[in-house]
Amino acid sequence: MLGTNPALLLAELRELGDCIVTALSDDVPLLEEIDVEVCYLHWDVVLNTTRGQDAIEDVFIFLREGMDLNIELIEAPPVGVNGDAVAPALSADAPSGASKIKQGGRKPGSSEQASSSLRVPAERLDELMDRVGELVIAQARLLQIASVSDDGSLKAVAEEIERLASGLRDTTMGIRMVPIGTLFGRFRRLVHDLSSELGKDIEFLTSGEETELDKTVIERLADPLVHVIRNSVDHGLENPVRRAAAGKPIRGRVKLAAVHKGAEVAISITDDGAGLDVERIRAKAEEVGLVAPDAKVADHDLFQLIFHPGFSTAKEVTSVSGRGVGMDVVKRTIDALRGSIDVVSTRGEGTTVTLRLPLTLAIIDGMLVRVGNSRYTIPLSAVEECVELPNAVSSGGKGRNFLNIRGSLIPFLRLRELFKTQAPADLHQKVVIVSAGEHRVGLVVDQILGNNQTVIKSLSKLHSDVETFSGATILGDGTVALILDVVHLVRFGQNFEERLRNMHSGRAA
């Protein structure tokens, strides 16, 4: 139920010293009497170690809320010829998923190896990150003051504090990183239950469990992944009869994978099912008024409609699906995490849903730009390159346009028009090429001011419907700069590109 493999816990105990593990199976009932949610196995562990009590407790650090842990001494450690204490023996018993480990202390005056890890409450990590964020803001203000000062010593101190603050930021964020495998394990039970309920033979595979994410992101990812996996199992995978008729293996496959891509993590859920039915999605979208009957809509945009509240193509309502809820929860949660969702599907071959998430939600590296008299921050992880806006298009009228970057046509957005800026434009405007997933778009700005450490502050509930911005940050001079939502802007630019392409194809026809 907790997604924990006891064998891995026992392996960690073995790393602490000489260890003897005995499995106690006397309480295992007959097969027909087994409750699948109960653990009947116990383990007796005798451990000789020079490590401290904390090292043993750290083995069970992620299970403390679901277990009782007591440590007692089996026998006092004898003193060696050099006066050092010999390692004590330990006994471990783990009934029903709970662990009781007995370990003793040491004789006064004896030495013991210090533990290499320490347990810290999550609330303290959150508080530490808040303090680091405030330090980064104060450091930016100090750097701003030093930049206009003639005092060389002040500038040197400001640069040193900037270096230290940057290192402290990286260390603090590293402490908050948790392997995503702690989340992946719990979905095996989900797939097993759905397999029995729906009468489908399913193979569940995972990869990239060692990939790390901020603990806050992982905590909020559980529900979205549950909904996507349920959708893949119910809607994606066919029943055994249909799979056999299609020449596929009877056993369906669902793969959950995570991989680092730059400053973000991509989590993909892939099934080898029937794929999304574009015609059915289109018909349902027209039925509920999301798409006009004569509108030309790309498959990629149609796939995004499955995340619309109340949207479902299921022919009947079951305990698993058909109610039109679930996938909209996925969209809201991923948007709140400043992430994006891509859906790729091939009819008859399967579907892949990819969730792209930032590594952290607290502090990011940003690129500060100016549009008119206002300043904005673009997440540096989304920036690919910066180019100068050609004179041929700098005064080429209103609306969006395209830029030729080494043979590739990239749509660009004039932020002056998007933000209705009244101040006169700079003579030499710049284009910041940003990307989200496989798509790119250019953002035309008046000036690129440079890079900075961006402490993200959430917008108020009054601004929750403003999709262009994902948050705000406080600059060194005390003013506020809004953080651009790159995913929304890229989607806006790609929609325009698709409309323009359809318009050209219509003219050609």
Given this model, what pLDDT does residue 100 score?
A: 40
Q: Is the pTM of this model over 0.85?
A: no
Characterise 349 by phi-psi region: left (phi > 0), alpha (psi -120 to 50), beta (else).
alpha
Residues 291-333 pLDDT 10s:
888 888 888 888 888 888 877 766 655 555 544 456 888 888 8
Parse the chain into domains and list their residue ranges: 6-102, 122-178, 180-358, 363-508
Q: What integer is the mean pLDDT of 98-113?
A: 38
Label residues 262-283 b or e (16+ Cβ within 10 Å = b): eebbbbbbbbbbbbbeeeebbe
Task: State which fold the 122-178 domain adopts.
Answer: Helix Hairpins (1.10.287)
Tell me which amino acid residue 346 is: T
19 has which bridge partners?
47
Q: How many residues does the chain have?
A: 509
Write the CB contacts of 333 (distance below 8 Å, at least 6 apart in sequence). 220, 221, 223, 224
Residues 483-501 pLDDT 10s:
998 877 887 776 665 555 5
Whole-number Å distance between alpha carbons of 130 and 141: 17
Residue 89 binned pLDDT confidence (cut-offs 50, 70, 90): very low
Extract the runs of DSSP E, i.e. beta strands, from 16-152: 17-24, 42-49, 89-93, 100-102
Q: Which CATH superfamily is domain 363-508 in?
A: SH3 Domains (2.30.30.40)
Given this model, what pLDDT does residue 113 score?
A: 41
Please tell me whether residue 47 adopts helix, strand or coil conformation: strand
Ranked by mean pLDDT, the top range of 83-97, 103-117, 309-323 is 309-323
Q: What integer is the mean pLDDT of 272-300?
A: 86
Given this model, what pLDDT does residue 40 score?
A: 81
Write the CB contacts of 85 (distance below 8 Å, at least 6 apart in sequence). 77, 78, 79, 106, 107, 110, 111, 112
Q: What integer is the mean pLDDT of 199-220?
A: 88
Whole-number Å distance between alpha carbons of 462 and 69: 47
CB 83 within 8 A of CB 98: no
Given this model, what pLDDT does residue 220 score?
A: 86
Given this model, what pLDDT does residue 97 score?
A: 37
H helix and E strand count, the chain = 14, 21
Residues 460-490 pLDDT 10s:
777 767 778 888 888 888 888 999 988 778 8
Q: Count of alpha carbons within 13 Å of 268, Cβ hemisphere only?
A: 19
For every residue of 128-175, DSSP letters joined together read HHHHHHHHHHHHHHHHHHHHT---HHHHHHHHHHHHHHHHHHHHHHHH
Write the CB contacts of 480 (distance below 8 Å, at least 6 apart in sequence). 472, 473, 474
Given this model, what pLDDT does residue 67 score?
A: 62
In the predicted structure, residue 240 carries a pLDDT above the cut 50: yes
Secondary structure letter of residue 396 according to DSSP: S
Q: CA angle, corner 228, sides to 223 and 231, nearest 5? A: 125
Residues 25-81 pLDDT 10s:
888 899 888 887 777 887 788 888 888 777 787 787 766 666 666 677 776 554 443
Share of the chain above pLDDT 70, in %: 80
Given this model, what pLDDT does residue 498 score?
A: 59
Task: State which fold the 180-358 domain adopts.
Answer: Heat Shock Protein 90 (3.30.565)
Given this model, what pLDDT does residue 289 score?
A: 84
Ranked by mean pLDDT, the top range of 31-45, 112-126, 187-201, 288-302 is 187-201
In the predicted structure, residue 110 carries a pLDDT above the cut 80: no
Given this model, what pLDDT does residue 255 score?
A: 94
